[in-house]
Chain A
Amino acid sequence: MGEMEQLRKEADNLKDQITAARKAMQDTTLQEAAASINVVGRVQLKTRKTLRGHLAKIYAMHWSTDSKLCVSASQDGKLIVWDSITTNKVNAIPLKSSWVMTCAYAPSGNLVACGGLDNMCSIYNLKGKDGNVKVMRELAAHTGYLSCCRFLSDSEIITSSGDCTCVLWDIETGTQKTIFAGHQGDCMSLAVSPDFKFFISGACDFTAKLWDIREGTCRQTFGGHENLSRINYILDLCKLYDLRADQELITYQDSSIMCGVTSLAPSLSGRLLLAGYDDFNVNIWDTLKAERVGVLAGHDNRVSCIGVSSDGMACCTGSWDSFLKIWN
Chain B
Amino acid sequence: MSNNMAKIADARKTVEQLKLEVNIERMMVSKAAADLMAYCETHAKDDPLVTPVPSSENPFREKKLFCEIL
A and B associate in one complex: yes
Binary contact readout B41-67 vs A (1 if CB under 8 angstroms, 0 otherwise): 011101111101100001111000000
Per the 8 Å Cβ criterion, residues 1-51 of B in contact with A are 4, 7-8, 11-12, 14-15, 17-22, 24, 26-37, 39-40, 42-44, 46-50
- Let me know if B29 and A242 touch, CB within 8 A: yes
Which one of A17, A85, A312 has the greatest number of beta carbons of chain B within 10 Å?
Answer: A312
- Let me know if B60 and A328 touch, CB within 8 A: yes
Docked CA distance A49–B40 (Å): 28
Q: Check A312/B32 contact, CB under 8 A, given A18-B21, A220-B21.
A: no
* Complex interface: chain B residues within 8 A of A140 (CB): none
* Complex interface: chain B residues within 8 A of A311 (CB): 48
Binary contact readout A22-64 vs B (1 if CB under 8 angstroms, 0 otherwise): 1011111110011001001001010011000000000000000
CB within 8 A of B49: which of A3, A29, A37, A308? A308
A271 proximal to B (CB < 8 A): yes
- Let me know if A269 and B15 touch, CB within 8 A: no
Interchain nearest-CB distance for A56 vs B (Å): 26
* Complex interface: chain A residues within 8 A of B39 (CB): 269-270
- Let me know if B21 and A221 touch, CB within 8 A: yes
* Complex interface: chain A residues within 8 A of B52 (CB): 328
A91 proximal to B (CB < 8 A): no
A322 proximal to B (CB < 8 A): no
Interchain nearest-CB distance for B23 vs A (Å): 9
* Complex interface: chain B residues within 8 A of A312 (CB): 46-49
Docked CA distance A15–B14 (Å): 11
CB within 8 A of B40: which of A45, A218, A269? A269
A287 proximal to B (CB < 8 A): yes
Size bracket of the A interface: 35 or more
Docked CA distance A86–B7 (Å): 56
- Let me know if B29 and A27 touch, CB within 8 A: yes
Instruction: Determine chain B's interface SS by DSSP, over half rule.
Output: helix
Docked CA distance A287–B61 (Å): 27
Interchain nearest-CB distance for B14 vs A (Å): 5
Interchain nearest-CB distance for A2 vs B (Å): 9
- Let me know if A268 and B46 touch, CB within 8 A: yes
* Complex interface: chain B residues within 8 A of A4 (CB): 4, 7-8, 11
Task: Closest B residue to A33 by CB, please name it.
Answer: B33
Interchain nearest-CB distance for B16 vs A (Å): 10
Task: Closest B residue to A274 by CB, please name it.
Answer: B49
Task: Closest B residue to A326 by CB, please name it.
Answer: B60
* Complex interface: chain B residues within 8 A of A297 (CB): none
Q: Check A25/B15 contact, CB under 8 A, given A85-B59, A328-B58.
A: no
Q: Check A217/B20 contact, CB under 8 A, given A7-B14, A287-B40, A313-B48.
A: yes
Interchain nearest-CB distance for B11 vs A (Å): 4
Extra contacts, 10 of them, besides A7-B14, A18-B21, A85-B60 (Cβ < 8 A), are A11-B11, A11-B18, A14-B21, A18-B18, A218-B17, A220-B21, A267-B47, A269-B42, A271-B43, A271-B44
What residues of chain B have their CB less than 8 Å away from a CB belonging to chain A? 4, 7-8, 11-12, 14-15, 17-22, 24, 26-37, 39-40, 42-44, 46-50, 52-53, 58-61
What 9 pairs between A and B have smallest CB-CB spacing? A269-B43, A33-B33, A269-B47, A48-B60, A14-B18, A7-B11, A244-B27, A245-B32, A268-B47
